[in-house]
A = this chain, B = another copy of it.
């Protein structure tokens, strides 16, 4: 059986071709830059008044005049185009451009005004460019601000707006079909369920874990028969991505691998040394569709998405950043099997606390968890304080 590392490598070598596009700014969050983001102007774009004040020219060495004659006022959104003499000053409002020939700005609280003559309170200190944000001190025109392939994050939006990216060079959405299988599966809207029925949670989990990625989802359902599966896979393979849940083991009702091959998919691996999620199936179709078969247990699906599908989608958009971070665990953990193991966990101030749960079918352990931990195959037992890979769930606040 293939190792986790080998499996991931194979998956990442079959990325999908993605198509650059421009997307409205607010809708671009979670997408990826298809081009480098460049400052199209200096920022601030002019010498900007940081306070409401009085501006004048000073050579930096001579004594400051007793008083200056007020020549006018500049509001934000205005430009002062008239000459200003050395004995004159301007009133400038916060955010307005300070004319280039003026280089001192004194706060309105520190001045004394009388008959259009401005003088200053006692013991003031003066320095060149005080209270003025210089043109370009934050960003200079032409600076590469964000790199191609970076994921578009909430904290970028303000800067993108300031630099005129009302539309952002990013990507068209990929299309994905989720095919849920199993005779026992019913929709969550059905309040009345038979004792043997299980409400579908997996299609919701997948869409939630991949929330904000540029992927459109369509959900299909098939019973556990070869014919039903083939019928649905034939439709699903028209998407860029096909994710089948359930029916992927080697049990007698597990027709998914056979159905995928009958529909023209080439299997690149079936089963990998991971727990949970061992029966995972991965293959590609000559039409370009990439298929993942995940075992139907809720936590197996989460692992499959976090360690295979999410990195796969990112890589398809040119992003190879890690989706995990390195953290220390608070308690020891014995190795249970020589596989890469994934365990529901919670991050608190002391580190990562592994949660006790009843296996991959457990639905309640997740509720108060903040992510999952990877116990690598080659690491025997973990001790308190050891570093582990932590995959956080999406945090919203």
- Is A172's CB within 8 Å of the partner chain B? no
Given contacts A164-B190, A188-B25, contact A158 B361 (CB under 8 A): no
A26 touches B164 (CB 8 A): no
Q: Which one of A11-19, A39-47, A56-64, A283-291 is at the B interface?
A: A39-47
- Is A75's CB within 8 Å of the partner chain B? yes
How near does chain B come to A346, taking the closest CB pair, in angstroms? 11
- Is A234's CB within 8 Å of the partner chain B? no
Given contacts A50-B359, A156-B367, A158-B205, contact A394 B393 (CB under 8 A): no
How near does chain B come to A52, taking the closest CB pair, in angstroms? 4
1/0 contact trace for A131-150 toward B, CB 8 Å? Answer: 00100011100000110000
Given contacts A26-B204, A195-B45, A205-B157, contact A183 B361 (CB under 8 A): no
- Is A211's CB within 8 Å of the partner chain B? yes
Q: Which one of A119-127, A249-257, A267-275, A329-337 is at the B interface?
A: A249-257
How near does chain B come to A24, taking the closest CB pair, in angstroms? 9
- Is A116's CB within 8 Å of the partner chain B? no
A364 touches B159 (CB 8 A): yes
A139 touches B75 (CB 8 A): no
A30 touches B182 (CB 8 A): no
- Is A392's CB within 8 Å of the partner chain B? yes
Most B CB contacts (10 A, CB to CB) among A43, A52, A155, A395 go to: A155
Given contacts A201-B159, A204-B158, contact A43 B164 (CB under 8 A): no
How near does chain B come to A394, taking the closest CB pair, in angstroms? 5
- Is A198's CB within 8 Å of the partner chain B? yes
- Is A187's CB within 8 Å of the partner chain B? yes
Q: Which one of A1-9, A92-100, A376-384 is at the B interface?
A: A92-100
- Is A184's CB within 8 Å of the partner chain B? yes
Which B residues are CB-close (under 8 A) to A188?
25, 160-166
A96 to B254, CA, bound (A): 13
Which B residues are CB-close (under 8 A) to A196?
45-46, 77-79, 96-97
B224 touches A26 (CB 8 A): no
A396 touches B397 (CB 8 A): no
Known: A138-B364, A159-B367, A166-B190. 18 other contacts (CB 8 A): A26-B204, A43-B363, A75-B183, A75-B253, A76-B184, A77-B183, A77-B197, A93-B252, A139-B364, A153-B393, A158-B205, A158-B208, A158-B366, A163-B199, A164-B188, A164-B189, A166-B189, A394-B396
Residues of A near any B CB (own CB < 8 A): 25-26, 29-30, 40-41, 43-46, 48, 50, 52, 73, 75-79, 91, 93-97, 108, 133, 137-139, 145-146, 151, 153-167, 182-185, 187-191, 193, 195-202, 204-205, 207-209, 211-212, 224, 246, 249, 251-253, 296-298, 302, 310, 323, 326, 349, 358-359, 361-364, 366-367, 369-370, 392-397
28 contacts between A and B (CB under 8 A): A29-B396, A45-B197, A46-B195, A46-B196, A48-B361, A52-B251, A75-B224, A75-B253, A76-B183, A76-B184, A76-B198, A76-B253, A77-B185, A94-B251, A108-B251, A133-B361, A137-B358, A138-B361, A151-B396, A157-B204, A159-B363, A160-B188, A161-B188, A161-B199, A164-B188, A166-B188, A326-B349, A392-B395
What are the 6 A-B residue pairs with the smallest beta carbon separation, nearest first? A77-B183, A166-B189, A77-B184, A161-B201, A166-B188, A161-B188
